[in-house]
Amino acid sequence: MVFALVVIMSFGPALIYAAFVYWLDRFEKEPLYLLAGAFLWGAVVATFGAIIATMVLELSVQMITGSAAVAEITGTTLLAPVVEESLKGTAVLLIVLAFPHEFDSVLDGMVYAAITALGFAATENVLYLYFQGYATDGVTGLVALFILRVLLGGWGHAVYTSFIGIGLAVARLQRGWAIKIIAPFIGWCVAIFLHALHNSMATLLGAQFGLGGLLATLLVDWTGWAVVLALVIWAIFRERRWMSSYLHEEVALGTISAEQYRIACSLRAQIRARARGRASRQFYGTCAELAQKKHQLATLGEERGNSARVSALRASLAQLASVV
């Protein structure tokens, strides 16, 4: 009974956070089946893979150093961040390799990464809340860890891994092999650094300074969250500029009307329009996808048949425009 409650307390907020991430992807929504797959990868493959890999590596450190304490600190502050971010990032890498046409902007990379990380956090929180919270300190321990990990620290993993998503999206959307190698590597390094910084502060400052160390850790965490939120807002308005620039031609071609163009380029008007039903959501989603593919055609050239995709999307948009 308690374990079932812990599952709800961990997965319920994670799904709410995931829904918010989905909502932030204002223009061209990512396919739900890919997002569900990313969440499940994080919740199952990444979590249990990280437990096994980190355990093996910690045992190796203990055998080398002869110290269980050194192995534990190394595992928490270094090994866990490297293993966990690598496994979470693998989900995003697999998506960009198998479904490159779904990576149309930096925001897409952040969305896939955040959803994967939220799945990871959900399962990890189940284990922490039950075994280190309830099993150790009863209901008091359970509630304390819920507040600390789920409410106050609920966006941590999503923020770390979002930088891997940014790196992979930049690699996908830029020319040149150098940036395709460097950008994901930098994103991976930033994710590991932020994760390791959090773990180190929580472990060392928390043990030495108690509440003061906890507050310092939260302050650093929340600063990182604010930076990522700023990046998300920048990415949203960047996509809005693409809409304004690339859809203007579609009005001249008669693909869409001037009023439809106005709504497509307005965040507020789109929210109202999409609420009208499935046909409206599909129409404005296609508007966004057409703008993104036209941007890719302009910056990357044919690449993966961008001209054919633009033509197909334009024809689809013309059909949808007549019924919206």
Check residue 189 and give its pLDDT.
Answer: 97
Cα–Cα distance, 87 to 6 (Å, whole number): 24
Write the pLDDT tens digit of every residue in 82-110. 999 999 999 999 999 999 888 888 999 99
Check residue 209 and give its pLDDT.
Answer: 63
Write the pLDDT tens digit of every residue in 109-157. 999 999 999 999 999 999 999 998 888 889 999 999 999 999 999 999 9
Same structural domain, 161 and 16: yes
Compute the mean pLDDT over every residue in the chain, rounded to the nearest whole number. Answer: 91
The pTM for the full model equals 0.92
Same structural domain, 160 and 302: no
Cα–Cα distance, 178 to 188 (Å, whole number): 16
Boundary (domain end) residue, out of 187, 207, 239:
239
The amino acid that residue 29 corresponds to is K
Check residue 214 and give its pLDDT.
Answer: 83
Write the pLDDT tens digit of every residue in 280-293. 889 998 999 999 99
Boundary (domain end) residue, out of 184, 212, 239:
239
Cα–Cα distance, 307 to 118 (Å, whole number): 36
Check residue 311 and give its pLDDT.
Answer: 92
Q: What is the DSSP letter of 101?
A: G
Mean pLDDT of 11-20: 97
Check residue 210 and give its pLDDT.
Answer: 67
Cα–Cα distance, 119 to 36 (Å, whole number): 9
Q: What is the DSSP letter of 151?
A: I
Check residue 163 and give its pLDDT.
Answer: 97
Same structural domain, 300 and 161: no
Q: Is the pLDDT of residue 52 over 90?
A: yes
Check residue 206 and give its pLDDT.
Answer: 64
Q: Which domain holds residue 271?
A: 247-321
Write the pLDDT tens digit of every residue in 246-299. 999 999 888 989 999 999 988 888 888 888 888 888 999 899 999 999 998 888
Same structural domain, 41 and 175: yes
Same structural domain, 167 and 271: no
Query: Between the CA of residue 40 and those of 47, 81, 103, 123, 217, what are the distances in Å?
Result: 10, 20, 19, 10, 29
Number of domains in the chain: 2
Boundary (domain end) residue, out of 218, 239, 260:
239
